[in-house]
Structure 1
Amino acid sequence: MTYRPGRAGVGRTVLLAGWLFADLLLLLLVIALGSLPKEERHKPPNPSPTPSDTATASPSQSAQVAEQGLVLKPCSFTVKTGSAASVRGQFAKQLRAAGVDGRTAGFVLSFGTAPEPGPGQAAAERVNSVITKEMPRFRVAPKRGYWKGGPSGNVRIDVFFLATPDGDTEFPKGCRSSDD
């Protein structure tokens, strides 16, 4: 038998390439299966909640209400930073004036103004904490605090409300938006 250095190496390379191809195919299969959406669970239809039902809704009930829809344009409010009672009073007064004090929040974005990011975001988070603890219609809504450059002392609160119990997702007439 004569030794041929080129032939034995070619067979091994082809064999390794085949295994590499099989491994990559398996990896693509795992990725594809992992990216499939979870299957929808069959849920019996729920009757539309009344306003009194949503006022006392538990987090699981709030999730059912959230499936009805969300107002896509935020209502914007501005409060001056200060004590929790002061912030709560200012915000509640503005909610009443806009005619949305009976609405449930879907989610809330707060923007604390300050020359530096740290204090501005901290002010926004404090306002979010006051809203969470003291206002039941805002308790289960996700909230995020952000910084907006400017002089210290104000927090703009953008509230995306849930649809009304009858499914209305129109922008509330008494609200103003930071988009305007």
Structure 2
Amino acid sequence: MRRRRRQPDGGTLGPAGWLFAELALLLVVIVIGSEVPKIRPAADVASPSTPPTTTEPPRPQGLRLTPQSFVMPVVPDHAVVEVFRERLTATVGPDAQVGLVLLFGRPRNGRLEDGVVVSEHLKSIIEPVDIPQLRSRADMRAYVGAQSGEEGQVLVELFLMTGPS
């Protein structure tokens, strides 16, 4: 009985070559499709007699990454707003705009969760009051963990806005 000889199938290089060819074709199509046309808009072409404006576009606002802080007592409630206003003005000035306020409360009785209660208490007193430095976009967040100050006090960290006000 005679054995049949296997026909050579071209090895593994045949399919790999086709894959590379298709990949190269795909990359060419993507490069051509992603080119930006260099055509001027019709508005620029239609009005060449209009002089270009020289005003700068407004700079976007952001937050400064370095906070300014002060320690704030929370008790008694009636004097908290005035003390907060005085310390805020002394820390950032009367014309500064605050974008983010972080409140870190120190627990009164040593329980960790009481620090958040202290921070939330100060937040509930300050939020409804109209303070010029705290714009409507100012965000207040209450946390636990003040390392400085006495029990029942809050470390207030202020992040000022940059750019035009």
TM-score grouping bracket, smaller chain normalisation: 0.5 to 0.7
CA RMSD of aligned residues (A): 2.7
**1:137 maps onto 2:133 in alignment:** yes
Bigger share in strand: 2
Q: How big is each residue's C-alpha offset from its partner over 1:106-125, in whole Å with a ceiling of 9 and x where there is no partner? A: 11110000122222101111
Matched, 1:128 2:127: no
Correspondence 1:87 to 2:86:
no
Please say if 1:98 is aligned against 2:91.
yes
* 1:163 is the counterpart of 2:162: yes
- Contact in 2 for aligned 1:77/1:91 (Cα 8 Å): no
Give me the whole-angstrom Cα distance separating, in 2, the residues matched to 1:149 and 1:156. Answer: 6
Separation in structure 1 between the aligned mates of residue 77 and residue 97 of structure 2, nearest angstrom: 21
Aligned: 1:147 with 2:136: no
Aligned residue pair count: 105
Q: Which residue of 2 aligns with 1:72?
A: 65
Residue of structure 2 in register with 1:32 after alignment: none
Aligned residue for 1:42? none
After TM superposition, give the deviation of residue 89 of structure 1 in Å: 1.5
Identity %: 28
AA aligned to 2:85 is: A
TM-score (normalised: structure 2): 0.54
Q: Which structure 1 segments of 5+ residues have no match?
A: 1-44, 49-64, 167-180
1:129 deviates by 2.1
AA matched with 1:155: V
